[in-house]
C-alpha cells in the first residue's frame, strides 16, 4: 500500500492533492510577474474584449467581492482599465491594457513550460488523455467549480 493508504485509489483525493501541487507550481511560476493565478485568469478572460465585472464573475467562478479586489489590483498595476460602457452608462467595462496583454503572453509561455515539467512523468499520449478526460469532467461540473 502506498503512503496514501486507502486514499491511493480515491480519484477525488488524488485530484485534490495534485490540484494543491499544481496550484503551488502555478503560483511559483507567476511570482516573478507579481500576479496571482486568479488575476491572470481575469486577464485571459478579457483577451481583446471588454467585459463587465458581472460577466467576469460568471465566467471566472470568482465571487463578486473577490472580483472587485482582483480588478482593483489589476487596474492599480495598469494591466486593465475600467471605462463606462457606451451602451449602458451605469456599468463599467473592464478591458486589458497593452501591458496586461503583454504580461498575459509572457506568463502563459512560462506556465506552459511549468505544466510540461509537471506532467513530464506521463507520456504525450497519456497527457492528451488526461487533458481530454479533465476537460469533459470540467465541462460537466464547471458551474459548481
Q: What is the pTM of this model?
A: 0.84
Only one residue has cell 506552459, namely: 112
CB of 71 closer than 8 Å to CB of 56: yes
SS3 per-residue string spanning 2-51: CCCHHHHHCHHHHHHHHHHHHHHHHHHHHHHHCCCHHHHHHHHHHCCCEE
Map out the domains of the chain as residue ranges. 10-137
pLDDT of residue 125: 98
pLDDT of residue 84: 86
Determine whether domain 10-137 maps to CATH 1.10.10.10. yes
pLDDT of residue 2: 62
Chunked into runs of 10 residues, the chain (145 residues) has average pLDDT values of 70 92 97 96 93 91 93 97 82 93 98 97 97 93 69
Contact residues for 53 (Cβ-Cβ < 8 A; gap 6+): 64, 67, 68, 71, 92, 94
pLDDT of residue 89: 75
pLDDT of residue 107: 98
Only one residue has cell 485568469, namely: 41
Strand order in the sheet with 50-51: 50-51, 88-96, 80-85
Rounded Cα distance between 52 and 104, Å, is 19
Amino acid at each position: 500500500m502506498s503512503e496514501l493508504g486507502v486514499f491511493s485509489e480515491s480519484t477525488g483525493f488524488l485530484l485534490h492533492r495534485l490540484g494543491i501541487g499544481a496550484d503551488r507550481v502555478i503560483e511559483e511560476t507567476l511570482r516573478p510577474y507579481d500576479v496571482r493565478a486568479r488575476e491572470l485568469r481575469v486577464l485571459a478572460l478579457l483577451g481583446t474584449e471588454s467585459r463587465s465585472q458581472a460577466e467576469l464573475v460568471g465566467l471566472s467562478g470568482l465571487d463578486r467581492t473577490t472580483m472587485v479586489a482582483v480588478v482593483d489590483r489589476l487596474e492599480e498595476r495598469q494591466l486593465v482599465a475600467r471605462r463606462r460602457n457606451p451602451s449602458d452608462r451605469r456599468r463599467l467595462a473592464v478591458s486589458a491594457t497593452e501591458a496586461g496583454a503583454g504580461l498575459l503572453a509572457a506568463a502563459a509561455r512560462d506556465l506552459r513550460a511549468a505544466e510540461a515539467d509537471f506532467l513530464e512523468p506521463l507520456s504525450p499520449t497519456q497527457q492528451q488523455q488526461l487533458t481530454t478526460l479533465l476537460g469533459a469532467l470540467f465541462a460537466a461540473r464547471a458551474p459548481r467549480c
